[in-house]
Amino acid sequence: MIYTVTFNPAIDYVVRTDGPFVPGQVNRSAQEDYQFGGKGINVSLMLARLDCPSVALGFVAGATGSWLEQGLQAQGLHSDWIHLPGGMTRINVKIKAQTESELNGRGPDITPEAMEQLYAKLDALREGDILVLAGSLPGGLPSNTYRRILDRLAGRGIRAAVDTAGEALAAVLPARPFLIKPNHCELTALAGRPLTTQTEIEAAARDLQQQGARNVLVSMAGDGALLVDETGAVHRMGCPQGRVVNSVGAGDSMLAGFLAGWLQSGDYACALRLGTACGSATAFSLGLADRAGIDRLLRTLQHDA
């Protein structure tokens, strides 16, 4: 079973305008929508579209938390939320005009008692399960929180996939996660130097592997993706043709596709191919991609492009 953890889920309020967004003035929307999200939630939703079951774990609070919980339940998502005593699940405002702007909410505080409830749920995981830790950590939690979770699960045969950035990502490397998925910008920040060529990106990915990560999957937007797998092999996949209309959830879709592909085939090249198809299909869609869009792109992709 795959378990995803979203520490700070959100309701994304998406507003589209016909013209440019002008700060300091009244702007009117041409179209509005809302999406229940958070990186771990996005992974679980995409896994469901790939017929790969998962359980979404995390924290919700207040009336917005109830809305999110009910909305995801209506979509058939299997979840097991921890209800926080105060605050409210955050709302993120996404403005899509000539450029994209975002205003992300802070989210509720996670109490020590709530963290103990999460640990109890994670203690029930079994050998062979996959744990996805995705997204930034909310304020009030230390940057080594993901590392503490991996240390707690060490030696139990549980594979961890971590999609975060900065100190939180650097902290988990010695715990030897099964997979990390930095994007190009996150990899550059960790490397502390510009990464402008495929050779430089590969070298930086290998550096993270030497620090402990078993597999390093780097998403590079329009330049596709690169994977350095635990055997030392390097796999590259170009990006299929299409018009990008949405950046929200593309990386999460890639992660979900990669995990589903690996579970189905046991082959890293196949996993990268499905991951790229999922990530690109979401980038070409207004929300998370549907199965038809994924399958259509999958037929156009070749291994090691």
Q: DSSP characters for 82-110?
A: EEPSSS--EEEEEEESSSEEEE----PPP
Q: Which residue has the tokens 């520490």?
A: 7
- 3-class SS shares of the chain: helix, strand, coil, % to 5: 40, 20, 40
Tell me the one-letter amino acid at 251: G
Q: What distance in Å separates the CA atoms of residue 187 and residue 211, rounded to the nearest whole number?
A: 14
- Asked whether the beta carbons of 257 and 227 are under 8 A apart, the reply is no
- Catalytic (active-site) positions: 252
Using N-to-C axis directions, what is the helix angle for 250-265 and 39-49, rounded to 10°? 50
Sign of the CA dihedral with 263 first, then 164, 41, and 184 last: negative
Please, which residues have CB within 8 angstroms of residue 155's CB and are 6 or more apart in sequence?
Answer: none
Please give the Cα distance from 290 to 65 (Å, whole number). 25
